[in-house]
């Protein structure tokens, strides 16, 4: 069988890899159906690093994925503690916390310092037809949930965790900077939680148009419009209660601070390419802003699935492009270079 490996900046190669064989205890053999290319994958693809984690050798990327259970190892219990069965489609939580440290035991496994994360060096990811994966990180999908929707459960889970941290109250105003898949999910959930008015900005015109419909929100192309001025004008100089930075950090984080009202909350979801962001101390201090960093999805899988089953969010609408595994290099190019219409790029690993 074949897999897509990253060898260095913008160097994805599809190559032969061995069949993984039968799964060990506690794991399953998963037939991977579809893998989403995430913004964090693009950091590694462009620069051979993300944050302070460097690509130390060839790596199979991919942590947003869904598949069908082919074989179950001994003690193969799913994320709810129930026995997994072959033939079941599952979505996954790619983060494997230790379960024993102080942070895991207090209920914060997403910040476990010993976490193993699928597709983050040195741990191989999902861009291959078959792989072993912990049964406890697999969540069975209802029959009416397709593979693409199941793959998108992880980005939706991040959005839910972000909303949990934001603690939005009815009628609070919200701005989302960066309307990729996670930003769009955050926008949709904020509206569902009773936020309003809502504003959104992106530098890609098709994402601006999608945000206007998907939120809905008053959406702006920040290359053509001074977004901060537009928000402040619309709120009569007050600013918004909550701002979500879901781009690549940098200037977007300072812009989020500028459009916040005094006492506002800034949720930093995006990962800065330089692994740092600069904020004016005077802006933060004088407004008394609260900054919260968002890391992974925490305990949100069940709620993500309920939102999909209730029809409160359409995840398939966010997946704009599909590529076969044999064209994984083209898929990464399309995602990284923002080809026309790109929102979420998916790789079909059985094609």
Range(s) for CATH 3.40.50.720 in the chain? 157-293
List of residues 6+ apart from 246 with CB closer than 8 A: 176, 177, 178, 179, 180, 182, 183, 186, 269, 270
pLDDT computed for residue 273 by the predictor: 84
Range(s) for CATH 3.90.180.10 in the chain? 2-152+315-348
- Of 218, 174, 227, 219, give the one whose Cα is nearest residue 196: 174
Report, as an integer, the average pLDDT of 12-39. 98
- Of 180, 186, 4, 154, give the one whose Cα is nearest residue 65: 154
pLDDT computed for residue 248 by the predictor: 80
Q: What's the distance, CA 228 to chain centroid?
A: 25
pLDDT for 150-194, tens place per residue? 999 999 999 999 999 999 999 999 999 999 999 999 999 999 999
2-152+315-348 CATH, one of 3.90.180.10, 3.30.460.10, 3.40.50.2300, 3.40.1160.10:
3.90.180.10
Compute φ and ψ for 278, nearest 5 degrees.
Answer: -110, 130
Place of tokens 């190892």: 73
pLDDT computed for residue 21 by the predictor: 97
pLDDT for 58-68, tens place per residue? 999 999 999 99
pLDDT for 67-123, tens place per residue? 999 999 999 999 999 999 999 999 999 999 999 999 999 999 999 999 999 999 999
List of residues 6+ apart from 204 with CB closer than 8 A: 338, 342
Q: How many residues appear in the chain?
A: 351
pLDDT for 70-84, tens place per residue? 999 999 999 999 999
pLDDT for 265-304, tens place per residue? 999 999 888 888 889 999 999 999 999 999 999 889 999 9
pLDDT band at residue 129, thresholds of 50, 70 and 90? very high
pLDDT > 70: what percent of the chain? 100
Q: By the 8 A CB rule, do 17 and 304 touch?
A: no
Superfamily of domain 157-293: NAD(P)-binding Rossmann-like Domain (3.40.50.720)
pLDDT computed for residue 141 by the predictor: 97
Bridge partner list, 34: 66, 348
pLDDT for 225-253, tens place per residue? 999 999 999 999 999 999 999 998 778 99
Please give the model's pTM, rounded to 2 decimal places: 0.96
């Amino acid at each position: 069988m074949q897999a897509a490996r990253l060898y260095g900046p913008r160097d994805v190669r599809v190559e032969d890899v061995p069949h993984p064989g039968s799964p060990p205890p506690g794991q399953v053999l998963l037939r991977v159906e579809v893998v989403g290319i995430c913004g964090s994958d693009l950091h590694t693809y462009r620069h051979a690093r993300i944050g302070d984690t460097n690509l130390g050798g060839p790596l199979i990327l991919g942590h947003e994925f869904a598949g069908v259970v082919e074989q179950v190892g001994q003690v193969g219990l799913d994320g709810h503690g129930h026995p997994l069965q072959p033939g079941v489609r599952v979505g996954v939580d790619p983060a494997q916390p230790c379960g024993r440290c102080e942070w895991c035991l207090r209920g914060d496994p997403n910040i476990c310092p010993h976490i193993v994360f699928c597709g983050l060096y040195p741990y191989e990811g999902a861009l291959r037809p078959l792989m072993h994966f912990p049964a406890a990180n697999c969540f069975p999908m209802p029959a009416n949930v397709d593979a693409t929707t199941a793959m998108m459960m992880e980005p939706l889970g991040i959005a839910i965790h972000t909303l949990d941290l934001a603690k939005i109250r009815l009628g609070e105003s919200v701005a989302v900077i960066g309307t990729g898949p996670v930003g769009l999910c955050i926008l949709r959930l904020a509206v569902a939680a009773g936020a309003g008015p809502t504003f959104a900005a992106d530098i890609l015109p098709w994402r601006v148009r999608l945000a206007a419909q998907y939120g809905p929100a008053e959406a702006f192309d920040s290359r053509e419009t001074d977004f901060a001025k537009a928000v402040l004008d619309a709120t009569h100089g007050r600013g918004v209660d909550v701002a979500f930075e879901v781009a690549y950090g940098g200037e977007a984080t300072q812009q989020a601070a500028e459009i916040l009202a005094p006492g506002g909350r800034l949720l930093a979801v995006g990962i800065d390419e330089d692994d740092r962001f600069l904020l004016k101390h005077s802006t933060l201090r004088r407004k008394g802003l609260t900054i919260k960093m968002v890391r992974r999805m925490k305990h949100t899988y069940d709620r993500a699935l309920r939102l999909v089953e209730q029809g409160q969010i359409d995840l398939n609408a966010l997946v704009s492009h599909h590529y076969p595994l044999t064209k994984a290099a083209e898929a990464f190019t399309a995602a990284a270079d923002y080809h026309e219409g790109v929102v979420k790029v998916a790789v079909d690993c059985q094609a």
